Amino acid sequence: MTCSGCSRSVSEAIQRVVGVDQVQVELENALAIVWWSPERRADDPAVLDAVSRAGFTGSLCADDPAESVPARWSPLSGWVFNVVAGSIASLILMVCEWGFSLGMVRSYHWAAFLIAAPIQVLCGARFYLGAWKQLQVGRSNMDTLVALGSTSAFGFSAWGVLSGWQGHLFFMESASIITFVSLGHWIESHVSARAAVSLRALLNLVPPTAILRNADAADSEVPVSSLQVGDLVVVKPGNRVPIDARVEEGASAVDESMLTGESFPVEKASGASLFAGTMNIQGSLVARVAAVGEATSLAQIISVVRRAQNSRADIQKLGDRISAVFVPIVVMIALASFFGWWMAPESARMLGGWMEVFLWTPHHPVDPLAAAIYHAVAVLIIACPCAMGLATPVAIMAGANIAAERGILIRDGTALEKSGRITSVMFDKTGTLTQGRVTVGAVLDLSDPDSIPAPWQTLAASLAVPSAHPLSQAIAGLTPDRVEALDWEEVRGSGIAATVGVTESNPRGMAVGMGSIPWLIERFEVTPPTSAFADDWMARGATVVGLAGGGRLLGLIALRDQLKPGSDAVVAQLRERGLQVHLLTGDNPQTARAIASAVGIDPAHVHAEVKPEQKAAMVRHLQATGQKVAFVGDGINDAPALEQADLGIAVSRASDVAREAADIILLKSDIHAIPEAIALAQATLRTIKQNLFWAFFYNTAAIPLAALGFLSPIVSAAAMGFSDLIVIGNALRLRRWKGAVPPAVRGQGRGGLTTDGTDGHGFK
């Protein structure tokens, strides 16, 4: 492989093999790593056949590439030999022609031939081999253009030496073309590697060995790959956690910033979860292995980042369609330029003459045949389609990596595109705007102790214990006392019903229910509460739950879920960006309006008493009005809504990163990550569009200029490499992205920067 276009072709070919789940192609190491779907067996011959049909050769690695020792640097490795040898030869030829004006001296022609021939054969071999492999499968690529261009220049010059031609020869140009293109590829391979630096950092987080505590309490160092679920491992201070585990002994603070983006260490004690790759800061911990291999949270994060890096955005399709026919079109333009300058040189000069007033006066070889070859070669060299092919993948790679550093996982390039079309953001209340930790604020006793089998709080706690709902878990802590609850039933989004107090004397017991007041009124036919308790607490944003039995209300419980700090600022940022912000909740309208008022959401955009199964329908309803909706949920009960939304954002926990429903997953609970994630995705999309614009503009402008004689082959070779570097460099600007700047604080200062020193798009 000679360039990023080649690696992309290999990646696409392997990805089309049935059963391949993911593929990562490393240009610099000439390596492809393939992951198979769990239900498929690895089919190595099919992968090798796909690589061959794409015009490349490949073989299976003898060792695990993740554990192999990097090869030592060699002056003949990669593009280094081409750059060094080509630079020496080109410099000698340039000095002779430009410094000593030896270009028309016969003896110099022979010397130039002897200098340029090894460069053409040895340094040009990679381009010839690549072009030949592509030709064998009926395709063409950049190697084809370089091989045609340099061979045309060298072949004409070699004929001129052997035949005694007295005009200008192009040995300097042929050697310089190969040198400049090789230099561009060498720089591209190193600069492109920077876009994947975050992924490599993630891969290096897990230590190769772990301290295993045996059954006899003896410790031994073993490879991490040998650990099994249930093993005990010791994590000493200053060491990284080797595997996902649960603390059995000890207490410490663990730095999880690499996983979640949170800057503060997390306290860990018995029962706490540890995640592979995190750093133990203080005390020694003994933990039991909970997940190994691909099941660890870090492995799943790496999988998501790889998927994003190798994904294709719809916006890339236009560039792919053009690239598919680009080389044949360029060859035809080069032929037209050749015959035009050879058969009608005066007409060709006149055609470009009117542009000299606006540009510059170009140099044309005097002899028509020499001029024809000179300008045709310039067309072939400058028309490299690499920038067009790099425009989208390198931006997606850079964006996905910088997002991963901030605890934001972007699933694929399509998610980036969808982020640019969002007009509305819909928040599911619990776990997103609120902390998801419900507490009891107050209770109101409405019971007659003589008419119920146990105190009403005991009944409420007994009904709540079997439920996993956050409200139920808070109520279960009202009292440690319990009674037996028979025929227990949970009605999602409404409440819980059961039978209590069953005895021999009262075999039917008492039917009781706990849940929303409207549901209790409907199912248990109770009278609505007359106390102001419910109204007062709902006005404060609390959720009021009732307990009913024996045809009456037995008590009311006010439950509070605190808003996350800065929720109002986050909503303000989104609104300042021109986005509508909606609140979706199962709470009653009064509570929902109180929460919306606290965070600054328009009352008209509040959707209350929405059951879990109705969330997706609410998203569809908003989409029916023409809105492009981003749905923000905690990912537990929100999969249908996340899937239905134009952009699904899951506020997740580290152990839940594998949700397929969400387009963007936030590994940190900080709500400020939501506008940050949207802004970063939009910044990446902007970069893709900028790259595509430059790639199209470059080729649209450069090819006519070369055909009309304004660009020499040497300048064309340099410009081609420069174009690739512009695309890569623009994508790497994302690594300097410092966060979104709300429009409200954008005050123009010196140099056009905002008040915080950024350019308004988050770049310093």
Question: In this predicted model, what pLDDT tens digit does every residue of 558-601 receive, in sequence order?
Answer: 988 777 778 888 889 888 888 899 988 877 788 788 888 888 88
Of 658 and 681, which is predicted with more confidence? 681
pLDDT value of position 308: 53
pLDDT value of position 542: 81
pLDDT value of position 539: 79
pLDDT value of position 191: 57
* 3-class SS of residue 603: helix
> CB within 8 A of 237, min separation 6: which ones?
252, 280, 281, 282, 283, 284
Residue 298 scores a pLDDT above 80: no
Of 228 and 195, which is predicted with more confidence? 228
* 3-class SS of residue 186: helix
Average pLDDT score over residue span 683-702 = 80
Range of the domain at 39: 4-63
Which of 256, 291, 326 is where one domain is finished? Answer: 291
pLDDT value of position 742: 41
pLDDT value of position 180: 74
Confidence of residue 117 (pLDDT cuts 50, 70, 90): very high
684 found inside a domain: no
Residue position matching structure tokens 């549901």 = 519
Q: What CATH number does the domain containing 518 carry?
A: 3.40.1110.10
pLDDT value of position 513: 93
354 found inside a domain: no
Average pLDDT score over residue span 432-441 = 78
104 found inside a domain: no
How many other β-carbons are positioned within 10 Å of the β-carbon of residue 749? 11
Residue 469 shares a structural domain with residue 613? yes
% of the chain exceeding 90 in pLDDT? 6
Average pLDDT score over residue span 368-375 = 80
Residue 258 scores a pLDDT above 90: no
Confidence of residue 752 (pLDDT cuts 50, 70, 90): very low
428 an active-site residue?
Answer: yes
Rounded to 5 degrees, φ, ψ at 446 are -120, 15
- CA 410 from centre of chain: 4
How far, in Å, are 433, 682, 761 from residue 421 at the CA level?
A: 23, 9, 17
Residue 236 scores a pLDDT above 90: no
Question: What H or E segment, with its residue span, contains residue 519?
Answer: helix 517-524
Residue 406 scores a pLDDT above 60: yes
Pick the most confident of 52-56, 135-139, 403-407, 739-743: 52-56
Tokens representing 494 are 């409404």
595 found inside a domain: yes
pLDDT value of position 217: 79
Of 102 and 348, which is predicted with more confidence? 102
28 found inside a domain: yes
Confidence of residue 48 (pLDDT cuts 50, 70, 90): very high
Strands 552-563 and 232-235: unpaired
Confidence of residue 496 (pLDDT cuts 50, 70, 90): very high
Residue 763 near residue 730 (C-beta atoms within 8 A): no
Confidence of residue 58 (pLDDT cuts 50, 70, 90): confident
pLDDT value of position 760: 37
Of 468 and 117, which is predicted with more confidence? 117
* 3-class SS of residue 709: coil
Average pLDDT score over residue span 79-92 = 86
Whole-model pTM: value is: 0.59
Residue 483 shares a structural domain with residue 630? yes
Q: In three state form, how does the secondary structure of 450-464 look? A: HHCCCCHHHHHHHHH
What does R_g of the chain's alpha carbons equal in angstroms? 34
Average pLDDT score over residue span 497-513 = 88
Average pLDDT score over residue span 9-38 = 81
Of 504 and 47, which is predicted with more confidence? 47
Of 39 and 311, which is predicted with more confidence? 39
How far, in Å, are 407, 411, 422, 582 from residue 631 at the CA level?
A: 18, 15, 10, 9
Strands 434-445 and 31-36: unpaired
The mean-pLDDT minimum among 3-17, 225-239, 522-536, 546-560 falls in 3-17
634 found inside a domain: yes
pLDDT value of position 69: 43
Confidence of residue 70 (pLDDT cuts 50, 70, 90): very low
437 found inside a domain: yes
Confidence of residue 357 (pLDDT cuts 50, 70, 90): low
Residue 194 scores a pLDDT above 60: no
483 found inside a domain: yes
Residue 263 scores a pLDDT above 60: no
Question: In this predicted model, what pLDDT tens digit does every residue of 631-651 receive, in sequence order?
Answer: 887 755 677 787 788 888 877
Rounded to 5 degrees, φ, ψ at 238 are 85, -5
Tell me which DSSP letter residue 214 carries.
Answer: -
Q: What CATH number does the domain containing 37 carry?
A: 3.30.70.100
d(CA 156, CA 372): 11
Question: In this predicted model, what pLDDT tens digit does every residue of 644-675 receive, in sequence order?
Answer: 888 888 776 533 443 556 778 777 666 777 88
d(CA 263, CA 685): 27
Question: In this predicted model, what pLDDT tens digit does every residue of 455-492 receive, in sequence order?
Answer: 999 999 999 998 877 788 889 988 888 998 898 998 87
Task: Count the domains in the chain.
Answer: 3
pLDDT value of position 28: 65
d(CA 544, CA 523): 17
pLDDT value of position 230: 86
Residue 233 scores a pLDDT above 80: yes
Pick the most confident of 73-77, 212-216, 483-487: 483-487
Catalytic residue among 428, 561, 634, 638: 428
Helix 316-343 × helix 368-382 angle, to 10°: 170
Q: What is the mean pLDDT of the chain?
A: 77
% of the chain exceeding 70 in pLDDT? 79
Residue position matching structure tokens 């060491």 = 239
Residue 188 near residue 725 (C-beta atoms within 8 A): yes
